[in-house]
Amino acid sequence: MPAPGRPQQYGGGMPAGGPGPAACQICGAAPAAPVTVRGHQGMVVIMKFLKREGLFCRTCALASFRDMQAETMVLGWWGPLSLVITPFTLLANLGALSGIRRIPEPFAPGFRPPLDPGKPVFKRPAGILALIPMGLLGLTVFAFTLLVIVGAVVGPSGESSESSEGGGLSDYPNQVYPTLTVGSCARNDRTWPYEDLKPEPCGSSAAQYRVDSWTNDTCTSGDHSIGPMYSKDHDKPLCLRPLKG
Ligand SMILES: [Zn+2]
């Protein structure tokens, strides 16, 4: 008897006696473990706090970590508070990475290929570019510490109205999983395999896919498979069939 709320194993082949290893939310591969990676973006007066959280297999978790880390290393520095927040975000992600490395390699394939982990962070242009702000960070930390010591910093509640902490999370597409019902239509505001799906009336010119059910553990060739978190009962993956024209 599977524990309530526990993701089910897809593809069969697992012993029926136990709950079995959890499946990756993104690709359905097993085993998967709870993973949280964070991102931060500073934009002078506003900030964005990003979070990607869920049950991920090792491959998808690593891909999520690298993308978040590389993005934060480039976009994280551009604000007075962001300069302080970003190092902590990067360090927290390194902590998450040690957990990710403990997830065994997937042994049970999922309903679609895992995310592409790509190159390690420091082999990406973003990582190389980020060496500049990170080099400047030492000076900034020093200056900031000095300011704190002389008490020249305005109290945290002083003029914090300039930083918008609300609404930041919802901006990260993978954090929000709209419910898609079979037969309805949807659009993807991002590039596969990082979908940002939104329900869209089938008559709308923005509609790109019709939602279809997952039958016989598969989708029709040419369809996109999406995770069970989009289905009404969060129990089965769904298929997205591209609309013609
Ligand atoms: Zn996966």
Q: What is the pLDDT of residue 142?
A: 81
**Lowest-confidence pick of 11-15, 139-143, 194-198, 201-205:** 11-15
CA of 17 to the centre of ligand 1 (A): 24
Decide if pLDDT at 68 tops 50.
Answer: yes
Q: 169-189, pLDDT tens digit by residue?
A: 434 444 568 899 999 999 998
Q: What is the pLDDT of residue 146?
A: 81
Q: What is the pLDDT of residue 18?
A: 42
Higher pLDDT, 102 or 128: 102
In this structure, the strands spanning 238-242 and 224-226 are antiparallel
Decide if pLDDT at 119 tops 60.
Answer: yes
Q: What is the pLDDT of residue 80?
A: 87
The tokens describing 94, both together, are: 């390194």
- Mean pLDDT computed over 37-58: 94
For tokens 């994280």, name the residue.
Answer: 76
CA of 115 to the centre of ligand 1 (A): 7
Polymer length of the chain: 245
Q: Confidence class of residue 193 from pLDDT cuts 50, 70 and 90?
A: confident
Q: Which helix (H) or strand (E) holds 65?
A: helix 58-75
CA of 203 to the centre of ligand 1 (A): 33
Q: 22-35, pLDDT tens digit by residue?
A: 899 999 999 999 99
- pTM to 2 decimal places: 0.64
Decide if pLDDT at 127 tops 60.
Answer: yes
Cα angle, residue 57 at apex, residues 63 and 17 outer, rounded to 5°: 175
CA of 63 to the centre of ligand 1 (A): 9
CA of 11 to the centre of ligand 1 (A): 14
CA of 55 to the centre of ligand 1 (A): 8
Q: Confidence class of residue 156 from pLDDT cuts 50, 70 and 90?
A: low
Mean pLDDT of the chain: 82
The tokens describing 88, both together, are: 């902590």
Q: Taking Cα atoms as reference points, which of 20, 152, 220 lies closest to residue 211?
A: 220
CA of 158 to the centre of ligand 1 (A): 44
Decide if pLDDT at 166 tops 70.
Answer: no
Q: What is the pLDDT of residue 152?
A: 61
CA of 61 to the centre of ligand 1 (A): 7
CA of 127 to the centre of ligand 1 (A): 24
Are 170 and 186 a contacting pair, CB within 8 Å? no
Decide if pLDDT at 239 tops 50.
Answer: yes
CA of 56 to the centre of ligand 1 (A): 5
What is the Cα–Cα distance from 147 to 18, expressed in whole angstroms?
Answer: 58
- Mean pLDDT computed over 208-229: 89
What is the Cα–Cα distance from 220 to 156, expressed in whole angstroms?
Answer: 55
Decide if pLDDT at 8 tops 90.
Answer: no
